[in-house]
């Protein structure tokens, strides 16, 4: 379940609409939305092990072998491939936005910055972007695409292989 009092109503509705139309084994599933009064809630399936970032930094994550880490990366890639097929971009792919469930099933979550694109790219003037995970063209020109999601996936791979290490330390 996600609390969304920091989003304005338009952003909240956009995230809900995107989640309603995405159904894949490696994307978080939307169960319900509560909008009777603020704060609004997005209710999703339970992913008991929490975010991939916290999982990797914890004792259970630290004990994962390389094959398990690669499997987690493959699951995220599978979910992201589905997004690309659906002409969607995530724009905030990072270990903090991937959830881990039983049997180490990983699902991409947090679609607050996601967009459905009709053109090959999406232009945004929003300066509130996750810089360490963003492609150079996204940082310099606000230009997001499936290719910028691939860049973010590369940074996510670094997070996975370093058991939750911080990208570009120092």
Among candidates 49, 78, 47, which has minimal Cα distance to 64?
A: 49
Residues 6+ apart with CB under 8 A from 159: 52, 53, 56, 94, 95, 165, 167
Active site residue 78: no
Which DSSP symbol is given to 3?
E
CA dihedral 100, 101, 103, 107 (to 10 degrees): -60
107: which DSSP letter? E
63 in helix, strand or coil? coil
Query: Which run of H or of E encompasses 56?
Result: helix 52-57
| Annotated catalytic residue within 8, 71, 78, 92 | 92
Residue written as token pair 């999982």: 55
Show which residues are catalytic.
Answer: 92
């Amino acid at each position: 379940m996600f609390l969304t009092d920091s989003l304005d109503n338009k952003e909240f509705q956009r995230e809900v609409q995107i989640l309603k139309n995405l159904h894949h084994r490696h994307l978080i599933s939307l169960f319900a939305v509560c909008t009777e009064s603020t704060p609004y809630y997005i209710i999703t399936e339970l992913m008991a092990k929490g975010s991939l970032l916290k999982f990797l930094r914890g004792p259970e994550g630290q004990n994962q072998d390389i094959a398990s880490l690669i499997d987690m990366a493959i699951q995220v890639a599978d979910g992201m491939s589905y997004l690309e097929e659906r002409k969607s971009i995530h724009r905030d792919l990072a270990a903090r936005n991937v959830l881990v469930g039983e049997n180490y099933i990983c699902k991409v979550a947090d679609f607050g910055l996601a967009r459905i694109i009709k053109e090959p790219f999406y232009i945004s003037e929003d300066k509130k972007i996750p810089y360490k995970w963003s492609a150079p063209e996204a940082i310099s020109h606000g230009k997001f695409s499936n290719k910028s999601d691939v860049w973010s996936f590369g940074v996510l791979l670094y997070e996975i292989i370093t058991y939750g290490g911080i990208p570009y330390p120092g």
